[in-house]
């Protein structure tokens, strides 16, 4: 995504452009599964360009995303994802 975006727009995408792409792509992929959105939200998590989507149903209705990345600096100062 970032490479194509830069090629077309001559600039790297903002955080908001990437988030918008991730949300739209994730939603479209869920809708193409042959199930309704709620079924796919309940059944699996996904990872897109910069965002994770792991939904759970809230007791008062609706869904919330609990997909996060926890990052840390390794001893060589590279950023890594915690396992």
Q: Give me the residue spans of the domains in the chain.
A: 2-81
- 3-class secondary structure, 8: helix
Alpha-carbon span 54 to 59, nearest angstrom: 16
* Whether residue 76 has pLDDT greater than 90: yes
Longest dimension (CA), the chain: 46
Global confidence as pTM: 0.76
pLDDT digits (tens, 9 = 90+) for 27-57: 999 999 988 888 898 889 999 999 999 999 9
Mean pLDDT computed over 77-81: 93
Residue 68 half-sphere exposure, CB side, CA atoms within 13 Å? 5
Determine the pLDDT at residue 37.
Answer: 86
**Adjacent-strand bridge partners of 33:** none
Minimal CA–CA distance to 26: which of 54, 7, 64, 63?
54
How is residue 70 annotated by DSSP?
-
* Whether residue 69 has pLDDT greater than 90: no
């Amino acid at each position: 995504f970032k490479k194509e975006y830069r090629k077309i727009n001559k600039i790297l995408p903002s955080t908001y452009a990437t988030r918008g792409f991730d949300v739209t792509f994730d939603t479209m992929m869920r809708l193409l599964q042959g199930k309704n959105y709620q079924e796919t939200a309940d059944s699996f998590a996904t990872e897109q360009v910069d965002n994770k989507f792991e939904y759970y149903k809230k007791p008062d209705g609706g869904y919330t995303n609990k997909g996060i990345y926890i990052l840390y600096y390794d001893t060589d100062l590279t950023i890594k994802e915690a396992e």
